[in-house]
Structure 1
Amino acid sequence: MVERKRAFVIASQFPCLTAVRLAPLSLLLLSIIKVFMNKLPLSVLIATALLAGCSHAPLPVATDTPVAALASQSAPLPLRSDIQQGTLANGMQYIVLPNAEPADRVSMQLIVHAGSLVEADDQKGIAHLVEHMAFNGTEKFPANGIIEHQESLGMVFGRDVNAMTEYYTTSYYLHLPNNSEQMMDEAFTMFSEQISALRFDPAELEKERPVVEEEWRRGLNMMARLGTANRQITLEGSRFGERDPIGDMDLVRNVDAERIEAFYQDWYHPNNMTMLVVGSIDKSQVEALLSKHFAAMPAKTLPVRPDLTVPLPQELQFKTIEDAEITTEVLSVNLRAVQAEVYSEADLKAELLNSLAMMMFDNRLRVQYQTESDYVSRMVASAMPLATGYSNDRVMAILKDGNYLKGMEELFTEVSRYATHGFSQRDLDTARKELSSRYRTMADGQKGAKNSRQMMAIFNKIRMQKPLVHMSDYNAVAQRVLAELSIEEINKHFTQTMNQRAPLVIAQINTDNAVAQPSIEQVEQLWLHTLANPPAALTQQAVPKSLFDKVPAPAEVVDRQTFGNVIKWTLANGAQVWYQYSDESVNQVQLQWQGFGGTMQLPQSERRAATLAARNLRSFGYGGFNSEALSTLNAEHNMRQITYVQLDRQGVFGSAEQDSVEAWLQNLNLMLTAPQVDSTIWQAKRTFLARNIERRKDSPSSNFNKQIDLLRYVNTPSKQPLSAAELRSITSEQLLSAYKGVFGTAAGHQLVVIGDIEAERVLDLASRYLGALPAGEAHSEPKLPPLISGRHQVLIEAGEEPQGITSVLFNVDYPYSKEAEYQAYLLTRVVSLRMREQLREKAGGVYSPRFGIKLERARQQAYGMISYSHQPERAEELKQMALAITKDVAANGVTQKEVDTIREQLLSGLKPEAINDRHRYRWLIEMAAEDHYSDLHENYLKWLNKVTPADLQPMATVVLNTDNIIDALLLPDSKS
C-alpha cells in the first residue's frame, strides 16, 4: 500500500519537523528576524507560535440554528450567485459550483458535520480514528481495497485523495482525473461506502491505532506543548480547551471497537452531511448521482450537540505556562470578547474597526521596538479569532531578562499610552491601505481559480458556518466600509477595548523561573495603575511622499528573443529580463531578481556578514528611507520582497499586484543601489540574536541540529551554526561592505517575471529601474566545497517527550546532469513508496517517513536523507528496516511495476490542464539562470516515458552504497 491514510487533523499538532529540523520557539524567533523585512507582520509570526503552535483555522461554533437566525439585522452580505444548492429528502445538503479550470476535471468533498467537539469523554480522538478507518475496509472494499481501487483509477493518495478531522467536521475529498460518467459514479460509490458501510474490522483497527499514535508523536515538541497550553488557558471552561482532534492516546490505544463504531453510528447520517462538488459538471448530474447513491439512506435523530460557550471572566486573570525547554520568555495580555460573525455590513464594520486598531497598534510597536528597551526586546499586537463568535486582541512582549514585573509594567504602559492618546490619521491611512490591498489580493485570487482552490474556499466557509459570499463581493463591501471608517471611531473603539475588556495575562516562562513570578494582586495593581497613569504620546517622523522624485529614463534594449510564449530582453548593462504572460492568478505577478556569485565571491571572513545584511535589510531601510517610511510608502501595495544570499547565488524574490510592479522594482532598485545599515538597530538585533543563541544551548532540538550541521558542513564554515561570539564580532560596517560586495551590479543577473501583466509594461519598467545599474562583473556558478566524508554518529539524549527522531544523511560524489536529476527524483518516489509501506503500514512505527535524493551541480555530489519521528524504544528496529530498503534498492534495483506506478502518477500531474504558474515560474527561473531556453516540461516527459528500471540502477548502486553517512538520533533523556 502506497502513500496511504495521510489523513491529518487540524489541531495543536504543529508540523515543525522539516527534514532533520525541529523548531523550538527560540529558532522561530531567529527566523522572525529573517522574515521581518517582508510584509508579514511580526505579530502574525509570534502569535502563530503562541496561540496554538500550529496554523489551524479559527474554531467555529457548531449549531443547529439556521444561519439566517444568526445574522445581524443590518444589510446582509450578498450570497454567491454562481453556486447551486439543494437538499435531499433525507436532509443531505449539496453544493455544486460549475468551474472550467482545469478542463474536464471534478473535485469533490464529503463533509460530515462532526469533529472532535462532539466526542464523549471516553471518545477523545475517535472522530479522527474513524476517519482513518474509513480507508481500512467497507462492505464493497475490504481492508485496503478502497485505496487500491482509487489508485487503479489514476488517483494518488495525498495528492488526489485524502481526509481531514478538525474541531467541527470530518471530511473526505477526491480530485478526479476526469469527469466521465464512469469516474463520477465510482467517486459517489466510494463516498457512499465510507459514510454508510464501514466494517471496523478488529484486525484493521489494531493496525491503525499505532499509525494514529505516530501521527500524534510527530507533533511532540515544545511548540506543540506551548500551543496546547495557550489554547487551554484562553479557552478555559469551554469545550475547545478539552477537545483536541488528535485525541487522548490512552483512549486511542485502548478504546474498544464498539465505542469507535458508536461515534460513526451517532453522526454519520445524511442529515448531518454536505456534498461539495466543483468542476466540469452541472447540478442535474450531481442530483442524479446523489439520488442513486445517497437518497435511500435514512435520516436519523442526531445526539444533542454540546454547549460551546466560551466563559469570559470579568476580572483580571494571571496564568503561567512553564516549560523546561523555553529559552525566550514571553508575556501577553489577552483581551477577549464576544464578536459577531460577519453576516452583515454592520458585522464587517465591527471586525474591520478592530482589525485596523490592532494593525495600527502593531505598526507603532514595531517602530518603537527596533531597538530593545531595558526589559523588553520586542513588542507586537494582533487581532485574532478565538472561536466563532469570539475574538482575542493580544499584545505580546518578548522579555529581555527575568525582571517580570518590570517587563509587565512596560507592556501595560504601552497599552495605556495608546488607549489614552490613540493613533494618528497617518496611522489609519497606512493600515487602511495595507488591509485594502490584502482584500483585493484575496478577491483576485478567487478569479479563475482551479477546482481545488475553489473547493477549499467554500469548505472553509461551510465548516466555519460563515455565509457563502464570493470574495469579490466581500471585497467590494470591505473597500466601501474601510473608506468610511474615521480615526475618531477607531480611537474610541481602541480605548473601550483596552479599558473594558478583562485582561488575561499569560507569562510563558522557563520552569526554573516559576518562583520569580509576581502575584496576581501585584499584576492587577500594576494594570490599574498604568491605565490610570498613561505616559506621554509619541511623535512620528515625517515621511516623504514617494520613493522616487523622478522616474528614471528607460535604458537601451540591445537584444530581444522570443521562444514560444517566453520573451527574453537584454539591457545595455547586461541585465536580462525573462518574461511569460499568465492570467491564471488575476492581477498577480511573480518576480525574481537573481544572479550567480553568492557569498563564495567574498572572503571567508565576510560571508556571514553578507547573509545577515540581506536578512535585515528592510529593518535598516534603504535609499535613505528608514523602515517606518518604507512601510508607510509601500502600504498601498500588496507586495512581497525577500532578499536572499546563498553560497552560490543571490537575489530578491516575491510577488505584487499588477499595479504594484513598479513599486516592487523601485524598491529593488534602492535595495541594490542604496543599501544602508543603521548601527543602533544592528547592535540591538545582534544582542537579541546572540542572547538567543546562548539560551538555546540546552535545547535538545537545537543541539541535535547543531551537531548535524557541524559535521555536514565541516568544509563550509559559513554554513555551520553561528556562535554568539562570532555574531558579536560582526560590525555594521562589515554588513554594509559585504552586502555591496554581493549586490548592486547588473551583468550576469536576470529579472524573471510571470503573471498577469503585459510584456511592454514589464520591459518599460525594467529598463527604467534596472537599466541604470552598473554593469559590474558577471559571475559563473561557483564550485562549492564537498559535504563531509566518512561515517559519523550523533546521539542526543535530552528532553522529556516520548519521541525519537532518526535522521540518516548521506552524500557521494556524482556528476550532475539533467538526466541524473530526473533519476534522483524517480528513485526518491519509489524508495519513499517502499518506506511508507514498510515503516508505516506494516510496522506501524512511523507516520510519515521522509526520504529524498538530490543532485547538486555546484558540488558535483548527490546527497540525501532518511528522517522520521518514532517511538524511542523502536529506534534501532525501525532504522534497520529503513536501511534494509535502501540496501535492497542498491543491490537489486526497482521493479518495472514500481516505475510504471510512479510514472503514471507523475504523468497525471503533468498533463496540460494540471500545469500551473508554480511550474512555469520554476522552469523560467531555471532557464534564466542557465541563459538557455528549452522546453523543460516536454524534455522531462520524453525522458519519463522511456525510462526503465535499468536506467536507475547505476545511480541507486552508487548513491545508496555510499560510506559518507551521518547517523543521527535524538532521544528523550534516559531518566525520563
Structure 2
Amino acid sequence: MKKYIYLLGLVVIMSLGSSEKATAQSKKSDQKEILGTNEDSAKIPVDPNVKMGKLSNGLTYYIRNNGKPENKVELRLVVNAGSILEDEDQLGLAHFMEHMNFNGTKNFKKNELVDYLQSIGVKFGAHLNAYTSFDETVYILPIPSDDPEKLEKGFQIIEDWAHNALLTDEEIDNERGVVLEEYRLGKGASERMLQRYLPKIMYGSKYAKRLPIGTKEVLENFEYESLRRYYKDWYRPDLMAVIAVGDVDVAILEEKIKSHFGKIPAATNPKPRNTFDVENHEETLIAIETDKEASFAQVQVLFKDLGKPKKDATVKEYRTSVIKGLFTQMINNRLDELKESENPPFVYGYSFHGGTWARTKEAYQSFAMTAPDKQLEALAVLLEENERAKKFGFGSGEFERAKKNITARLEKAFKDKDKTESNRIVGEYVRNFLEGEAMPGIEWEYNFYKSVLPTIQLSEINNVITNYLRDTNRVIVLTGPEKEGMTKVTEAQVKQTLEDVKNKKITPYEDKAVATSLLTNLPPKGSVTNISKNEKLDVTTIKLTNGATITYKKTDFKNDEILFEAFSYGGSSLYSDEEYKTIGFAGGGLAEAGVNGFSKVDLGKMMSGKIVRVRPYIGTYSEGLSGATTPKDLEELFQMTHLYFTKLNKDEKAYMSYVNKQKGFLTNMLANPQFYFQNEMGKFTNGKNPRYLGFPTGESMDASDYSLAYEKYQERFADISDFNFYFVGNVDEKVLVDYAEKYLGSLEGKNSNEKYNVSSFRPLTGSHSKIVEKGQDPKSAVRIMFQGEAEYNREEAKAMKALGEILSIKLIEKLREEEGGVYGAGARGSIRSFPYGWYNFSISFPCGPENVDKLKTAALAELQKIIDNGPSEKDVSKIKEAQLLEYKESIKKNRFWLGYLKNSDYMNRDVNRVLDDEKVVNELTASDIQNVAKKYLTKGYILGIHNPEK
C-alpha cells in the first residue's frame, strides 16, 4: 500500500456554519459507502485486481494481470529469511546462498541460467537480479511473455531457486572469490563507522552482529554443509511467496505457480522462524564516529518506540497512518525552509517515523547532512524543530498546503492507475508478504483519502509528535570526516546541546502569507505563423511570430503526465575563457533565487497542490529548460517558463545559501578514495583544457562570480527566437497552442540565430598510464579507455555500442565466473557526432591490488579475441535481442520520445530514423562489430589504476 504519506499532506478543518455542516454530513454519508457502516473496525480491503492464494505446502502467491509494458511479466521469488537467521558458522551465508542460485540448479547447470536469459534479452544485473537483507531474500526476474516457452522457462527458473540449487563443493569454492570481492567492494569509511555505531541503534540485538555481507573469516573458511544447512532450513514453502505481475492471463499464471510449486513438499519439523527484538534502554546512547576517508558529515537522532510495530489492518488504523503522514510532511516543509536560509544549518534535513534495521523496532528519526563543522548546530536545529512542533503544533496554512499536495499526488496516481508499470506494482505485494502491509489498491486509497481528509482535525496532527519524543530509548549518531585541524565533537558537547535545547525558550513558527498567482501582467500574446505535421511519427511543429518553435507529440502512455524540454544553441561556449573561469561554479545557484520576486520557499507554498517542475540550465553548447507537469497544471508550467525568461530574481542571500550548502556537501568529498581517483583521472585526461575547472572546492565556490553568472543568464535567455520547445504526453493540442501563444509568444524575439563555439581542445588520446594511490582498504580499480576523433556513422555507432555490451558479457564470464577476481566488470562504447566526431570505449572493474595486472591482461585478451576473430554469433544474438526488447519498451514511454525529438534537432539528425531502428539492429553482424574494434581499439589506450596507499 503506497500511502503517499511521507511526502504529502492535508488541510485544516475550520469551524462549520450551518450550510457547511450539511456538506459535512453529505461527505460522511459518502464515507460510509466507502468504508462500511462500522467505520473504525472495518478491515482494509485487498485490491480486487490482485489474486492471492496459498498452496497446501504453505507457499503464498500473488497474481495480477497488467498490460504495461506489453508482453512482459515480472516474477519474484520472496524468501522470508535473511542474515538474521544465520548461525555463528553461517555469517554471510544467506547472501552467499543468493549467489549460488545463479551457479547451478537442477535444470540450469553452471552459467546456463544467465546464458539462457541473455539469449532472450534479459540482462544479468540490469534486469535479472536479487538482494539479501537482514530479514529477507528476494529474487527478481522479468521475462518476455509473448512466447509460452519463455514463460515456462521463467517459472522453471524461480522454481529451481526455491528448491533445486545444486550447491556442489566445486561451485561453492568457485564463488568464494566473487563474494569476497563484493565484501572488499563494500569496505570503506561508511562501513567502518556503521560497524561501530550499529550496536547502539540496535541495542542488545542480534541485528548488530548480522550484517548480510558476513565476515571475511567465515566466507573464506565455512564448511560446505553450513551453506546446505541454511538452504534446507530456510528455503521452504511456508517461508516463500511467488509474485507474478504482467501481460499474461491470471489463470495461466496461477496454473504455472501450482504446477511448479505445488509439488515442493512441505517442511517436516521446520525450524522456528523466530523474530528478534531490540532492547529498550533508559539512557540516551551517543555514537560519535569519524574516519579519514569519510566524505560527508551526518547527524541522526532516533527516538525508538518502546513497543513493537503494528501494521494497519483496520480503517481506523489506516486513518491514523494518514495523520502521521501529514505530520511528516509538515515537519519536513519546515526543515526544507531552514535549508534555504542564508546560512543553512544543514545541507539536507528530514524527519519521519518508520522502520529501523529491525522489523521489530520502529523509531521517529531526524536526519541531517551537514558541513563537518556544523554537526552540533544541525543537531540543535533538529531537536528545536521537533520541540517547536510539540509545543506549538502547526498552523492552518501549513495544513491547507499539505492537503492540496496530497490530493494532487493521489489524483495523479489514480488517473494513471491503468498505466502503471508492472515493476512498480510488485513491491507492494512483496511488502504485504514480508511485513503485512495492507494493499487496498490506488482506487480504494484515492476514495478513502477524499472521504477522510475533511474529518481530520489539525489537533490530531499536532498530537502526533507527543508520542514520538522521549528522553529514554533515544540514540544520537554523528558521523563525519577526521582530519588535521578539525576538532572532534565530544559526547559531553552532545549532552550539553541536549540540555541547551531543553532549556531554550522556543517561539512559534511564523507562517508568512504568499501571493496566489505567479504573474499578472503579460505583454501582448503572439500567434502561430506555421504548422507542420510529421504524419509518420504523429508529431506536430508550430512556429510563433517571435520565431520560437514548439514541437509536441500527444501520447496515451500516461493519463496524467506531460514532459517538457527546451534548448537554444550557445551556452557557455559563447563566454570568453576569462568569463568562463570567473563565473566558475556560480551558474548552478542561479535558479535558487526564485522568480518574479518570489523566493524558492514562496514558490513552493504557492505551488501547493500543483504538480509542476521547471528548471533552467546553461550547458556547454546550449541553454534551456526542462520540466514536467500534468494536463491540469500545464498553464503553471508555461507561466514558470515565461518567468525564467523574464523575471529570474537576483538574490545574494539565496545564492549564499546555495554556496554554503555546496561547501558543506563538497568539502570532504575527495577524502573518499573512489571520488579522488575519478577526479585525478579527469585532470589527467582534460587538465590541459584552458576551460577545465576541475572538482568544485570551497575556495572555488567562494571565488565564483554570481553577478557575472546572472548577467550571462540574462544574455542567454534574452532572445526566444532561436529556442526549440518540446512537449510529450497527454496534451490537449488546442490548450497547448493557446498557452504557447500567450506565454511564449509574448516573449521578445531578436532573430539573433546564435550558434555555438567549439574549442580546439581535445581530451587526451593515445597510450598513457596513470596510477593513483589513495585509501587504506586493500582494494583497487582498473579503467582502460580508448578515445579519439571519429567521423560519425550511425551503423558504426550501433556496432560500437554492441561491442561494449558483448565485451561486458565476456568480462563477467572471464573475470568473475572463471577467475573469481571481481564482483562486477563492464565495458561501454559510443561514437558521437556532437559537438564534433568522437569515439569512446572504456573497460572498468574493481579488484584486489594483487590481481590488477593479471585481470587487466585478461580483460585486454578478451577484447583482442574480438579484434582477431570477431564475437560469436551467439553473443551477437544476445545483445540484439536485449536491444530490441529495450526498444519496444522505450517507444511506449514519454521520456524516450521527449529525448529523441529534442536530440534529433539538437544533433541535426533525421527525426524519422527511429522508424528503422529495429532494422538497423537486426542487420548488425559480427563482422560489423569486429570492424569497429579493429578500427578504433588498436591505437593505444589510457590506463588508469587506483591502488591503496602503501
Tell me the TM-score normalized by structure 2.
Answer: 0.88
Q: 2:401 aligns with which of 425, 430, 450?
A: 430
Q: 2:928 aligns with which of 931, 951, 972?
A: 951
Structure 2: how far apart are the matches of 1:911 and 1:410? 50
2:281 partner letter: P
1:82 partner letter: N
Q: 2:231 aligns with which of 264, 268, 278?
A: 264
Cα distance, 1:515 vs structure 2: 11
Cα distance, 1:950 vs structure 2: 2.8
Q: In the alignment, is residue 875 of structure 1 matched against residue 847 of structure 2?
A: no
Q: 1:779 aligns with which of 741, 754, 772?
A: 754
1:441–1:256 distance in 2 versus 1, CA, 3 Å: farther
Q: 2:392 aligns with which of 421, 433, 440?
A: 421
1:220–1:738 distance in 2 versus 1, CA, 3 Å: farther
1:535–1:751 distance in 2 versus 1, CA, 3 Å: same
Cα distance, 1:827 vs structure 2: 1.6
Counterpart residue number, 2:840: 863
Structure 2: how far apart are the matches of 1:355 and 1:389? 20
Q: 1:929 aligns with which of 902, 906, 915?
A: 906
Q: In the alignment, is residue 304 of structure 1 matched against residue 272 of structure 2?
A: yes
1:92–1:671 distance in 2 versus 1, CA, 3 Å: same
Describe how 1:532-571 pairs up with structure 2 within 5 A: 532-549=503-520, 554-564=525-535, 565-571=538-544
Q: In the alignment, is residue 635 of structure 1 matched against residue 608 of structure 2?
A: yes
1:752–1:928 contact (8 Å) kept in structure 2:
no
2:53 partner letter: G
Q: In the alignment, is residue 204 of structure 1 matched against residue 171 of structure 2?
A: yes
1:805–1:867 contact (8 Å) kept in structure 2:
yes
Q: 1:342 aligns with which of 309, 312, 316?
A: 312
Counterpart residue number, 1:492: 463
1:448 partner letter: K
1:277–1:786 distance in 2 versus 1, CA, 3 Å: same
Per-residue CA deviation, residues 561-596 of structure 1 (Å, 9 max, x unaligned), is 221321112222222222122222231222112232
Counterpart residue number, 2:422: 451
Cα distance, 1:743 vs structure 2: 2.8
Counterpart residue number, 1:319: 287
Bigger Cα displacement from structure 2, 275-284 vs 842-851: 275-284
Counterpart residue number, 1:840: 816
Describe how 1:136-155 pairs up with structure 2 within 5 A: 136-152=103-119, 155=122
Describe how 1:329-408 pairs up with structure 2 within 5 A: 329-337=297-305, 340-371=310-341, 373=343, 380-386=350-356, 387-388=358-359, 390-397=361-368, 400=371, 402=373, 408=379
Tell me the TM-score normalized by structure 1.
Answer: 0.85
Counterpart residue number, 1:3: none
Describe how 1:5-24 pairs up with structure 2 within 5 A: none
Gaps of 5+ in 1: 1-38, 42-70
1:694–1:724 contact (8 Å) kept in structure 2:
yes
Gaps of 5+ in 2: 1-5, 9-37
1:929–1:312 distance in 2 versus 1, CA, 3 Å: farther
Instruction: Report the RMSD for the aligned CA atoms in angstroms.
Output: 3.3
Per-residue CA deviation, residues 809-829 of structure 1 (Å, 9 max, x unaligned), is 331111123333222211211
Per-residue CA deviation, residues 603-625 of structure 1 (Å, 9 max, x unaligned), is 22333676845532342111211
Per-residue CA deviation, residues 501-527 of structure 1 (Å, 9 max, x unaligned), is 753222223345999666656644542
Cα distance, 1:746 vs structure 2: 1.8
The alignment partner of 2:935 has SS state of helix
Counterpart residue number, 2:781: 805
1:295–1:758 distance in 2 versus 1, CA, 3 Å: same
Bigger Cα displacement from structure 2, 241-250 vs 379-388: 379-388
Structure 1: how far apart are the matches of 2:145 and 2:887? 14
Structure 2: how far apart are the matches of 1:125 and 1:548? 59
Counterpart residue number, 2:803: 827
Structure 1: how far apart are the matches of 2:244 and 2:811? 34
Per-residue CA deviation, residues 534-556 of structure 1 (Å, 9 max, x unaligned), is 23335343311111225776421
How many pairs are equivalent?
A: 906
2:748 partner letter: P
Cα distance, 1:529 vs structure 2: 4.4
Structure 2: how far apart are the matches of 1:410 and 1:105? 49
Cα distance, 1:421 vs structure 2: 3.0
Q: 2:879 aligns with which of 902, 922, 938?
A: 902
1:515–1:683 distance in 2 versus 1, CA, 3 Å: closer
Cα distance, 1:121 vs structure 2: 2.7
1:950 partner letter: S
Structure 1: how far apart are the matches of 2:198 and 2:451? 35
1:688–1:938 distance in 2 versus 1, CA, 3 Å: closer
Structure 2: how far apart are the matches of 1:332 and 1:163? 29
1:111 partner letter: V
Q: In the alignment, is residue 756 of structure 1 matched against residue 727 of structure 2?
A: no
Counterpart residue number, 1:74: 41
Per-residue CA deviation, residues 92-119 of structure 1 (Å, 9 max, x unaligned), is 2222212233444433223222222322
Describe how 1:407-806 pairs up with structure 2 within 5 A: 408-409=379-380, 411-498=382-469, 502-511=473-482, 520=491, 523-524=494-495, 526-549=497-520, 554-564=525-535, 565-607=538-580, 612-687=585-660, 689-690=662-663, 695-696=668-669, 698-713=671-686, 714-715=688-689, 717-776=691-750, 777-780=752-755, 782-784=757-759, 785-806=761-782
1:579 partner letter: Y
Structure 1: how far apart are the matches of 2:151 and 2:467? 55
Cα distance, 1:923 vs structure 2: 1.9
2:164 partner letter: A
The alignment partner of 1:303 has SS state of coil
Per-residue CA deviation, residues 478-512 of structure 1 (Å, 9 max, x unaligned), is 34444443333323323553457753222223345
Cα distance, 1:409 vs structure 2: 4.5
Counterpart residue number, 1:941: 918
1:74–1:595 distance in 2 versus 1, CA, 3 Å: farther
The alignment partner of 1:616 has SS state of helix
1:628–1:450 distance in 2 versus 1, CA, 3 Å: closer
2:781 partner letter: I
Structure 2: how far apart are the matches of 1:202 and 1:557? 74
The alignment partner of 2:468 has SS state of helix
Per-residue CA deviation, residues 27-74 of structure 1 (Å, 9 max, x unaligned), is xxxxxxxxxxxx999xxxxxxxxxxxxxxxxxxxxxxxxxxxxx9973
Bigger Cα displacement from structure 2, 641-650 vs 222-231: 222-231
Counterpart residue number, 2:23: none
1:334–1:913 distance in 2 versus 1, CA, 3 Å: closer
1:610–1:268 distance in 2 versus 1, CA, 3 Å: same
Q: How much identity, in percent, do the aligned residues show?
A: 22
Cα distance, 1:88 vs structure 2: 2.0
1:560–1:932 distance in 2 versus 1, CA, 3 Å: farther
1:887–1:961 contact (8 Å) kept in structure 2:
no
1:945 partner letter: N
The alignment partner of 1:717 has SS state of coil
Q: 1:113 aligns with which of 57, 80, 86?
A: 80
The alignment partner of 2:906 has SS state of helix
The alignment partner of 1:680 has SS state of helix
Structure 2: how far apart are the matches of 1:227 and 1:635? 38
Counterpart residue number, 2:32: none
